[in-house]
Each structure stands twice: as C-alpha cells, then as structure tokens.
Amino acid sequence: MKMQELEARTGVGRETIRYYIRLGLLPEPERPKPNVAIYGEDHVRRVEAVKRLQQERYLPLAFIKTLLERPGGGEIEALPGLETELAVRIGLAAAGITPLAEVAALTGLEAHDLTVMVRDGVVRPAADGGLDGLNLAICRLWGQAKAAGFTPDNGWFPEDLNVYPATIEPMARREVERFYTRVSGGMDVDQAAALGQVGIQAINELIALIRTRAILAAAAEVNARVGPVADGLGAAADSG
C-alpha cells in the first residue's frame, strides 16, 4: 500500500509516520523505485500500537520503541501466577481462612458491620465464605477504629467505608494495566513479582501520605470557610 492508504487506515498523518520511521518505531518501507514507498500490514499494526500506547498508557516514544522490540510487540501478555506469587511475597498466602462466624469475636465488629462490609465490597469473602488474611486485616482495622470512637453513637457507620473500594479499585485496575504494559515480554513471573512487591509497598505508603496531606488541607479549608461564621456567632453572644 502507498502512504495515502496507510494514513487512511491508521488515522495518522504522513509526517508523523515518517517521524516514527526516523525514530526506528516503524521499519523502512520497501522501495521498488527511488520515489516509490510501499508499506505493509506490519506498518499498520505498528502505527496502531504506537498510537494506542501513547493515548492509553501515556508512554514516551523512546520507551514505546523498547516495547515494540520485545517478543509481544507492545501487546500485554499474561503472567500466570503473578497474583499468587505477590501474595506470598507480601506475607498473605500462608494466613489461612478464618470462618466468617469467628470474625466478629476476633475483630471487635458486630454481625451488622460484617454484613454491610461484605455487601459494599469492603470485605471480600473466599469461596467457602471465610476471610483470608488480607480481608481479616481490613476487619481488624475497622474494629480498631470503632474502639477508638468511630461508632454509630458518634455518627460513623460501616456504610461510610464504601467510598474506598469505589475509589481504589478503578485506580488499582489502571495500575495493573500499566504494570503489565511495561513488563510484558521483558520479565518473567518471578521478576515481575519482585518488582510488584516493591511497588505495592512503596505506593501504599505514597498513597497514605498524599491522603494525609489532602485531609490536612481539607481541614484547613473547612476551618477557613466556617471560622468567620463561628466567630460572628460568638461575638453576638458576648454582646448580648
């Protein structure tokens, strides 16, 4: 096919395509004559892969070139067993399963707490209905929060927790897509798990710090917004 057809099929202009060729992202076309260039299906696939990786993964062209040179050609490849290996590395695989009937006594929660947390996806039971170590740890943390005063009497309910899976799970899916894009074809499962372990631990701490910063800033904003009103009410009471 000629350049005009390649442009039409990919939606990418000729100057960009020529730039990709200069960078080595695309192979040189066949040149049966000095002023004739013939492009093939590989050019179509490569242009579409570059466009996808730029638009969906926000990757620089230099790294896209690295991905395209891997066996998968920039496509995501499966890493079978990665989730199991990650669980082992972060100490969750050997935790076992705790029957749901025992969870309340172990965590300080009530049956209603557990019902709501399971319903809202805050806690995810195993196939047999029990909780693995990770989900049990989530229950323990909410039990600690309740013991500290985050109780219905003070206006906190297990329903308040549903914001976290609703916010975090889409973010996690995006993180995993990015991770697979970057390591596919370049690492085996053990290497990916070692990198993933570091990523989980480091980003967990990073998220906690960013959330803390946001809470402090939000508290300051609320104080600034409602402070003058409170001061005015106090002044009115004093004058009366």
**148-191 pLDDT per residue, tens:** 999 999 999 999 999 999 999 999 999 999 899 889 889 999 99
Alpha-carbon gap, residue 121 to 98, rounded angstroms: 18
Q: How many C-beta atoms lie closer than 10 Å to residue 193's C-beta? A: 22
Residues 143 and 54 in one domain: no
Q: How many domains, the chain?
A: 2
On whether residue 89 sits in a domain, the answer given is: yes
Torsion of CA 131, 135, 138, 143, to 10 degrees: 0
Phi and psi of 25, rounded to 5°? Answer: -75, -25
Task: Tell me, yes or no, whether 172 and 207 share the same domain.
Answer: yes
Instruction: Identify whether the C-beta of residue 16 lies closer than 8 Å to the C-beta of residue 9.
Output: no
Residue 95 and residue 200 in one domain: yes
Provide the 10 A C-beta neighbour count for residue 2.
Answer: 11
pLDDT reported for residue 139: 97
**Is 240 domain-assigned?**
no
By three-state DSSP, how is residue 38 classified? strand
Q: Does residue 238 fall inside a structural domain?
A: no
Structural domain boundaries, residue 18: 3-68
Q: How confident is the model at residue 113 (pLDDT cuts 50, 70, 90)?
A: very high
CATH of the domain at 20: 1.10.1660.10
Q: Which is higher by pLDDT, 234 or 120?
A: 120
Q: Rounded to an integer, what distance in angstroms lies between the CA atom of residue 224 and that of residue 3?
A: 61
Question: Could you tell me if 169 and 212 lie in one domain?
Answer: yes
Once rounded to an integer, what is the mean pLDDT over residues 76-87? 92
Look at residue 98 and give its three-state secondary structure. Answer: strand
Provide the token pair at 195: 């990198």
Which of 68, 92, 119 lies at the terminal end of a domain, its last residue?
A: 68
In the chain, the amino acid numbered 157 is F
Residues 120 and 153 both lie in one domain: yes
**Is the domain of 9 the same as that of 96?**
no
Cβ(70)–Cβ(175) below 8 Å: no
Is residue 197 classed as helix, strand or coil in its secondary structure?
helix
Say yes or no: 20 and 91 in one domain. Answer: no
Q: What residues does 30 pair with on adjacent strands?
A: 38
Q: How many residues does the chain have?
A: 240
Residue 105 above 80 pLDDT?
A: yes
User: Residue 237 has what pLDDT?
Assistant: 47
In-domain check, residue 14: yes
Give, in order, the Cα–Cα distances in Å from 152 to each of 127, 149, 160, 166: 31, 9, 11, 22
Average pLDDT, the chain: 90
Token digits of residue 137: 């740890």
Q: What is the pLDDT of residue 94?
A: 65
20-37 pLDDT tens trace: 999 999 999 999 988 899
Q: Is there a single domain that holds both residue 39 and residue 88?
A: no
Do residues 133 and 124 make contact, with C-beta atoms less than 8 angstroms apart? no
Dihedral sign for Cα 140, 141, 142, 144, please: positive
